[in-house]
Amino acid sequence: MQSKIAIVSFSNAGSDLALRLCSYGLKADCFSSKEVNIGELFNLRNAIVFIGALGICVRQIAPFLKDKVSDPAIINIDVNGHYVQPVTGGHRGGANQLAEEIAALLGAIPIITTVSDTVNLWPLDLLPKRYNWVMETGSSLTKLMAAFVNEQPTALLLEARDNGTLFLEESLPEHVTCFFDYKDIDVKKFDVIIAVTPYLRPLGEKVIYYRPKMLHLGMGCQKDINSEVLKSSVDSFLIDNCFSPSSIASVGSVELKKDEKALNLLAESFGTKLTIFSAEELASYDSNSPSEFVNDVTGTPSVSEAAAFKLGNNLPVITKHTLKVNDKFATISLSICNHRERKGFVEIVGAGPGDPLLITVRGKMILQTADLILYAGSLVPVELTHYAKKGCTVRSSAGMDLPHQIELMKSFADRGLLVARLHTGDPCIYGAIQEQMAELDKYKIPYRITPGVSSFQAAAAALKSQFTIPDETQTIILTRGEGRTPVPEKEQLNKLAQSQSTLCIFLSATLAEKVQQQLLEHYPANTPVAICHKLTWKDEKLWHCDLINLAETVAQKKLTLTTLIVVGKAINNREGLSRLYAPEFKHLYR
């Protein structure tokens, strides 16, 4: 199969470098300049990599250059493989990214000269691909980008919330002013307006629109409805209601309509596939306008509204509306994706085990953009809250009961603000978030969970241990001892110990004597134990002992909170070979 990348070399040394690049994993076809037609490569390849002098590269490509939209990415590498330079198609053609990938393979220096990269500004033409946005402009993109990189006054309108908007918020250049309501923007004061929004806003010609995929259409229709007229009617309906068709993420309907040509083509026109729900799924939605006729035909009293609700996990912003399509009818409803809507929102964030550098990228971005950070003060190092933006409210929940926590979070969410509820480790492992989510559900406050690095993973790293051993133990059990909070009978430690797996025991330092007694029923007395206190914190401590000495060691060190006990022969083990590196295994497994 022909690769999308061609490498053209002008010497034997260049040919050797080309072959070396391919052996390192670059998927490309190699050619000698003497045997290839450069014009044909322009038409057939997405990228051409020349190996030789830059001047030769320029002379080779000059007759075939047309425009940045259709030209392939052109890259030049010196014959020694020291420098990798995009020549054309830096952003739109992907030459900058490919150059960095090639440079990484060679240990070379990528020479990137596009202005936005050299001055560390947003690459406006790359943002759509990076964040799955659709870009629309009010005038020349080239002129708007030039004004932006020349640091002309720029307005940023954010009417969505996703990874892209989080990135823009936390990396705001000095010449950019951020807005959350388009009515607050005085268009005359800005040379560029960047708008991330699913809404149609009257912002003039100086605007770059980014359309996030966050709108969900629920559809119903009569049989054999006209496809072209339906598409035109839906687009007109969206525009009349100030929504961009480019922001449609999904189209859904009832199972009875799964083969309806017009609905399938409609979904395809938005770059998606028709999502089908069973009548039972849709019937669970409590519609404000149920139809007995629709129920008799489809098995559910609501199709479009219920489908829109299911797709967006949000109440429809446009309830059932009837569209006339020639002599037939369709129903349409619209919802906005629950966790992308710019409204009050709670993000439950895993802080990781303690080291601020071990929080996830998304977790950090949430902390940098949140309006309230409510953190578990007795367990989460305060240094993690230093990511907060200016003006953010930072509170410890250590002295708060659940109603007080919910009241505080709700007060921010009700004002349309972002709340970061920061838990230690991964919030889904002994994070006590279930009762918080129940309360958020009760108040209909949308939320999402950002996972974190768990302390059991940090323990494996700190102990330089793989917690699974080939032919010995392939199971890791995360559990805790029984104290004031009971443990189900079938999950008592002495029963879990029968497997002699690697046990990671949370929240149990004060129960060390009981833990030791239960484990000794099945583990040998000399089973390795690691006692891990404040993993990855500045005052991290690790102690090793045999199981028979567990309780004594914990007592001597006076350990209570933030202590994880790891039990099993995997600790410090260096014996046993997996099949991963066996010669007969394919590269897929490595």
Mean pLDDT by 10 residues, the chain (590 residues): 84 94 92 91 92 94 87 94 92 87 92 76 90 91 92 96 92 93 95 97 95 97 94 96 97 95 97 95 86 87 94 93 93 94 93 94 94 91 92 92 95 92 93 93 93 95 92 91 89 93 94 95 95 93 96 94 93 75 59
Q: Coil, helix or strand for 545?
A: strand
Domain assignment present for residue 580? The answer is no
Residues 149/142, Cβ–Cβ less than 8 Å: no
469 with 486, same domain: the answer is yes
Residue 171 has phi, psi (to 5 degrees) of -125, 35
Q: How many domains does the structure of the chain reveal?
A: 5
CATH of residue 560's domain is 3.30.950.10
24 with 83, same domain: the answer is yes
Q: What is the DSSP letter of 21?
A: H
CATH of residue 133's domain is 3.40.1390
Question: Residue 509, Cα to own-chain centre: how many angstroms?
Answer: 36
326 with 354, same domain: the answer is no
Residue linked to tokens 């005038």: 139
180 with 223, same domain: the answer is no
Rounded Cα gap, residues 443 and 406, in angstroms: 10
Give the helix/strand (H/E) hosting 75.
strand 73-77
**For the sheet containing 393-396, what is the strand order?**
393-396, 372-375, 418-423, 345-350, 447-450
Residue ending a domain, among 313, 340, 367, is 340
- CA dihedral of 459, 465, 466, 470, whole degrees rounded to 10: -140
Domain assignment present for residue 549? The answer is yes
Dig out the tokens for 313 from the structure: 């996990």
Residue type, 165: T
A 10 A CB-CB count for 551 gives 17
Domain assignment present for residue 514? The answer is yes
Dig out the tokens for 110 from the structure: 């990528």
Instruction: Supply the range of the domain harboring residue 418.
Output: 345-453
Q: Coil, helix or strand for 490?
A: helix
Residue 544 pLDDT: 96
Q: From residue 323, how far is each of 103, 114, 229, 243, 311 by CA, in Å?
A: 55, 48, 10, 16, 20
Rounded Cα gap, residues 309 and 252, in angstroms: 10
313 with 350, same domain: the answer is no
Residue linked to tokens 């010497």: 11
**What distance, in Å, lies between the first and last C-alpha atoms of the chain?**
24
Domain assignment present for residue 579? The answer is no
Residue 209 has phi, psi (to 5 degrees) of -95, 135
Residue ending a domain, among 91, 117, 143, is 117
What contacts 34, CB < 8 A, 6 or more positions away?
none
Give the helix/strand (H/E) hosting 295.
helix 292-298
CATH of residue 236's domain is 3.30.420.180
Residue 547 pLDDT: 96
Residues 246/195, Cβ–Cβ less than 8 Å: no
74 with 133, same domain: the answer is no
61 with 167, same domain: the answer is no
Residue 585 pLDDT: 62
A 10 A CB-CB count for 347 gives 24
472 with 556, same domain: the answer is yes
For 299, how many CA atoms within 13 A lie in the half-sphere containing its CB? Answer: 11
What contacts 105, CB < 8 A, 6 or more positions away?
21, 24, 25, 26
Residue ending a domain, among 117, 145, 164, is 117
What contacts 510, CB < 8 A, 6 or more positions away?
483, 560
Rounded Cα gap, residues 449 and 434, in angstroms: 11
14 with 94, same domain: the answer is yes
327 with 425, same domain: the answer is no
Confirm whether pTM is higher than 0.95. no
- CA dihedral of 373, 379, 384, 388, whole degrees rounded to 10: 10
Domain assignment present for residue 258? The answer is yes
Rounded Cα gap, residues 519 and 502, in angstroms: 12
CATH of residue 434's domain is 3.40.1010.10
CB-based burial, 460-495: b 16+ in 10 Å, e otherwise: bebbebebbbeeebeebbbbbbbeeeeeeeeebbee
Closest to 235 in 3D by CA, of 259, 202, 195, 200: 200
Domain assignment present for residue 586? The answer is no
Residue linked to tokens 């108040």: 443
**How many residues does this entry show for the chain?**
590
Residue linked to tokens 């500045």: 538
15 with 29, same domain: the answer is yes
CB-based burial, 370-380: b 16+ in 10 Å, e otherwise: bbbbbbbbebb
Domain assignment present for residue 583? The answer is no
Rounded Cα gap, residues 503 and 490, in angstroms: 16
Give the helix/strand (H/E) hosting 293.
helix 292-298
Rounded Cα gap, residues 33 and 15, in angstroms: 10
Q: Tell me the Ramachandran region of residue 25: left when phi exceeds 0, alpha when psi lies from -120 to 50, beta otherwise.
A: left
449 with 460, same domain: the answer is no
CATH of residue 67's domain is 3.40.50.11220
Q: What is the DSSP letter of 452?
A: -
Domain assignment present for residue 144? The answer is yes
